[in-house]
Structure 1
Amino acid sequence: MLWKLVAQRLALGLVLLLAISAIIFAGTQILPGDVAQTILGQSATPEAVANLRHDLGLDQPAIYRYLQWLGGILHGDLGRSLANRQDIAQLVGGRLANTLFLAAVAAVIAVPLSVFLGLIAARHPNGLVDRVISILSLGAISLPEFFVGYLLMMAFAVKLDWFSSISNVHAGMSLGQRLSAVVLPCATLILAVLAHMMRMTRAAILNVLSSSYVETAELKGLAPFEIIVRHALPNAIAPIVNVVMLNLAYLVVGVVVVEVIFVYPGLGQLMVDHVAKRDVPVVQICGLIFAATYIGLNTFADIVSIVANPRLRHPK
Structure 2
Amino acid sequence: MSAILTMIGQRLALGLLTLWVVTMIIFLAVELLPGDFAQALLGQSATDETVNAIRQNLGLDKPAVERYFIWLGDVLQGDFGRSLASERQISELVGPRVYNTLFLAAYAACIAVPIALTLGILAALYRNSAYDRGVNVGALAAISSPEFFAAYILVYFFAVQNAWFPSIARLNETTTFTDRLYMLFLPAVTLTLVTMAHMMRMTRAAIINLMASPYIEMARLKGIPRGRIIVRHALPNALSPIINVVAINLAYLIVGVVVVEVVFAYPGLGQLFVDSVVKRDMPVVQASALVFAVTYILMNLSADILSILSNPRLLHPR
* TM-score, with length taken from structure 2: 0.97
Question: Corresponding residue for 1:78?
Answer: 80
The answer as to whether partners of 1:109 and 1:190 remain within 8 angstroms in 2 is yes
Tell me what 1:200 maps to.
202
Please give the alpha-carbon distance, in whole angstroms, between the structure 2 residues aligned to 1:38 and 1:154: 38
Is there any run of 5+ residues in structure 1 with no aligned partner, and where?
none
Any residues of structure 2 matched to 1:224-243 within 5 Å, and which? Answer: 224-243=226-245
* 1:47 match: 49
* Residue in 2 that maps onto 1:264: 266
Residue aligned with 1:161, SS:
coil
Name 1:19's counterpart in structure 2. Answer: 21
Which stretch has the larger CA shift, 267-276 or 30-39? Answer: 30-39
| 3-state SS of 1:164 partner | coil
What is the CA–CA distance in structure 2 between the aligned matches of 1:75 and 1:313, rounded to whole Å?
A: 37
Q: Hey, what's the Cα distance between the residues in 2 that align with 1:137 and 1:270?
A: 31
Equivalent of 1:188 in 172, 178, 190: 190
**Residue 171 (structure 1) shift:** 2.0
Distance in 2, Cα, partners of 1:44 & 1:306: 58
1:49-69 deviation per Cα after TM superposition (whole angstroms, max 9, x unaligned)? 010000000011111111111
> Which of residues 298, 304, 310 is equivalent to 1:296?
298
The residue number in structure 1 matching 2:9 is 7
Alpha-carbon distance, 1:172 to partner: 1.2
Runs (4+) off by over 2 Å: 310-316
In structure 1, the partner of 2:117 is 115
| Separation (CA, whole Å) in 2 of partners of 1:89 and 1:18 | 20
Per-residue CA distance 1:13-50 (angstroms, 9 max, x = gap): 01001100100010011101111111111110011001
Asked whether the equivalents of residues 4 and 314 of structure 2 are also in contact (C-alpha less than 8 Å), the reply is: no
Matches within 5 A, 1:33-182: 33-182=35-184
Alpha-carbon distance between aligned partners in 2 of 1:315 and 1:272, rounded to the nearest angstrom: 48
Q: Which AA in structure 2 matches 1:115?
A: L
Deviation of residue 223 (structure 1)? 1.0
Q: CA deviation at 1:310?
A: 3.8
Query: Distance between the aligned counterparts of 2:51 and 2:315, measured in 1?
Result: 58
Superposed displacement of residue 312, structure 1: 4.5
Number of equivalenced pairs:
316
**Are the equivalent residues in 2 in contact too, given 1:80–1:86 (CA < 8 A)?**
yes
Superposition TM-score, scaled by structure 1 size: 0.98
1-side partners of 2:314 and 2:283: how far apart? 41
Q: What amino acid is the match of 2:247? A: M
State the identity %: 56
The one-letter code of the counterpart of 2:205 is: A
- CA drift at 1:311: 3.4
Distance 1:310 1:62 in 2: 49
Structure 1 residue 219, shift from structure 2 partner: 1.3
Shift of 1:308: 1.5
Deviations 1:255-312 (A, max 9, x none): 0000001100000000000000100110001001111111111111111111121434
Contact 1:106 1:190 in 2 (8 A): yes
Q: Is the 8 A contact 1:5 1:313 kept in 2?
A: no
Q: Say yes or no: does 1:255 pair with 2:265.
A: no
1:172 match: secondary structure: coil
Distance 1:238-1:79 versus aligned 2 partners, 3 A rule: same
Deviation of 1:313 (Å): 6.3
SS for the counterpart of 2:292 is helix
Amino acid at match of 1:159: Q
CA–CA distance in 2 between the matches of 1:253 and 1:54? 34
Query: Distance between the aligned counterparts of 2:77 and 2:135, measured in 1?
Result: 49
Deviation at 1:214, TM superposition (A): 0.7
- CA distance in 2 between counterparts of 1:267 and 1:50 reads 32
Q: Give unpaired runs (5+ residues) of structure 2.
A: none
Greater mean deviation of Cα atoms: 74-83 or 231-240: 74-83
CA distance in 2, matches of 1:169, 1:33: 35
Instruction: Please report how far the alpha carbon of residue 163 of structure 1 lies from its aligned counterpart in structure 2 after TM superposition.
Output: 1.3
Distance 1:39 1:137 in 2: 46
| 1:165–1:262 Cα contact (<8 Å) kept | yes
Task: Give the CA RMSD over aligned residues.
Answer: 1.1
